[in-house]
A = this chain, B = another copy of it.
Amino acid sequence: MNGAESLLRTLVDGGVEVLFTNPGTTEMHMVGALDSVPELRGVLALFEGVATGAADGYARIAGKPAATLLHLGPGLAYGLTNLHNSRRANSPVVSIVGDHATYHNTFDPPLNSDIEALSGWLRGPIRRPENASGAGTDAAATLTAALEAPGQIATMIVPSDVAWSDGGVIGVPVMPRPAPIVTQEVIGRIADIIRSGDPTALVIGGPAVQEAGLSAASRIAAASGVRVLQELYSNRVERGAGLPAFPRLGFYPEQVVAQLDGVRHVIVAGTKAPVAFFAYPGQPSYLVPEGAQTHMLAEVGQDAVAALVQLADLVAGGTAAQVTEPRRPQLPTGPLTLQNWADVVAALLPERAIIIDETISSGTTLADATAGAPRHDVLMQTGGAMGDGLPLAVGAAVAAPDRPVVALEADGCAMYTGTALWTQAREQLNVTTVILNNHSYAILRQEWGHFDNRRGVTTPDTKQLLDLSNPAIDFVRLAEAYGVPASRATTGEEFAEQFSQALAEPGPHLIDATIPAAA
């Protein structure tokens, strides 16, 4: 057995089921080894950022480790941005990067580069087996590291001769330690704060924005009046009828300042204390009000859900969680607008849907519209890097072929990783992509307005660089180019009809929805 086969077998034994890849010459023996390891499904992406974003989406929905296989430093570089989003999502990803043979980089061939420097940017551990016999052991250790709570990107750099040489030995992944428990002392101290009756906010995130954590937070709120807020961007949020729902922290500092106005304590579970997404002149970066104390109930990586449940038992006793009633908006009529498009999605959202939310400036009404829709998951762009949405949809659909995936995608974001549509067609994934097409980087126009610099707003140069209308991108043709059936909607009626049809048919579809940007 060669090193490549021992590596893949080790990953399969450790629970890896899918390898998202865009391979090259140095990965040929890994690709070949797939034939000997049929339990591992190879999914091809035409661009590395699609492979890495898909791995993230897969891990979030499958609850299993994801794996990618990329081509040396330059291939990894194309995939790094969505690995950044993945790092911020704390998704467990084994990032396998092929390299030249162990003896070859000395000669600095054109594709040689410092792969460790790129992988190190992701803050996870890096391994590089020196020979075939070490490939399995390193694969096992890399998988274990990826699964360490809260989950991280662990890299394995595989020289081509390590892959092609015989002498491979299958490794044995060690199951990672469970997430560390929060001490009774900490929970008790925070319970006392809540009992004190001081104005208090509870900020939850990570695993705590799924049912168990949401319910515990709701019981705490119901019993004590604590103000509960969710982090802005999450790995996976459970939402819909029958679940408690809480407002998300705002994008702009002044919004969070208002949300936390008057509190004396901010309790944080499963996420970090609120900080501004971007800095703005004269506005704070750290958003806990001055004079308020921050209390970490559970750090990222600790068992936040167990801590919230125990806290709820202490302060809320038998108080029940308050859940959202089933509620669907009316289907809108007439031209699609920033305000009404989400009503179509909410009115027609099927059971157990997975929503990918990369709506950026067009998503303002989405959360409210879908609050009472059938229970669903929402995956978000956790690291703030554009282009995650279409790949996340690929991975989510691979992880849950029986669930409808609805990718809500801002037009600008769709331009970074459009070839994800080709993988959706190739794998016949059940994804309905809705392009929220305002023909501009509307978020940047909005940001521009947010800076007190009106000079730039009205001048041609600056406007030109935020404008996507010249030429207008034809997303219908783009989807068809990649083998995805597509249509265009400009009214509520058209959007509703096309959305229903897309959900009714198997395989991928795309709807180019014209949504005028906010004035």
Residues of chain A whose beta carbon lies under 8 Å from any beta carbon of chain B: 21, 23-26, 28-29, 31-32, 34-35, 38, 42, 44, 46-47, 49, 73-75, 77-78, 80-81, 84-85, 88, 100-101, 103-104, 106-111, 113-114, 117-118, 120-121, 160-161, 164, 233, 272, 275-279, 281, 285-286, 382-387, 412, 415-416, 418-419, 422, 425-426, 443-444, 447-448, 451, 453, 455-456, 459-462, 464-466, 468, 470-478, 480-483
Contacts and interface: CB of A to CB of B under 8 A. Distances in A.
Given A26-B278, A118-B118, 20 more contacts: A25-B443, A25-B447, A28-B444, A28-B451, A28-B453, A35-B455, A47-B387, A49-B78, A75-B385, A88-B110, A107-B276, A109-B277, A110-B382, A114-B121, A118-B121, A415-B422, A418-B418, A422-B471, A422-B473, A475-B481
A464 B386 CA distance: 29
B281 A34 contact: no
Nearest to A277: B109
A77 B74 contact: no
Contacts of A31: 444, 456, 461-462, 465-466
Contacts of A462: 31-32, 34-35
Contact of A74 (B383, B471, B476): B383
A441 to B, nearest CB: 8
Contacts of A382: 110
Nearest to A469: B426
The 10 nearest A-B residue pairs measured at CB: A471-B483, A32-B456, A74-B385, A101-B279, A478-B481, A46-B415, A477-B481, A77-B80, A104-B279, A107-B275
21 contacts: A21-B465, A23-B444, A24-B444, A31-B465, A34-B465, A35-B455, A46-B412, A46-B416, A73-B84, A74-B81, A74-B84, A77-B81, A78-B80, A78-B416, A100-B279, A109-B276, A109-B285, A109-B384, A422-B471, A425-B471, A474-B481
Contact of A78 (B24, B78, B160): B78
A42 B464 contact: yes
Given A456-B32, A465-B21, A100 B278 contact: yes
Nearest to A25: B447
Contact of A387 (B78, B455, B478): B78
A326 to B, nearest CB: 33
A49 B418 CA distance: 14
Interface centre among A32, A47, A49, A422 (most CB of B within 10 A): A32
Contacts of A111: 277-278, 383-385
A163 to B, nearest CB: 10
Interface centre among A26, A110, A387, A472 (most CB of B within 10 A): A110
Number of copies: 2
A474 B84 CA distance: 31
A3 to B, nearest CB: 13
A109 B273 CA distance: 10
A73 B387 CA distance: 14
Contacts of A161: 279, 281
Contacts of A476: 481
Contacts of A383: 74, 110-111
A421 to B, nearest CB: 10
A312 to B, nearest CB: 29
A127 to B, nearest CB: 18
A465 B49 contact: no
B412 A278 contact: no
A178 B58 CA distance: 53
A108 B107 CA distance: 39
A31 B161 CA distance: 47
A104 B276 contact: yes
Contacts of A28: 444, 447-448, 451, 453, 456
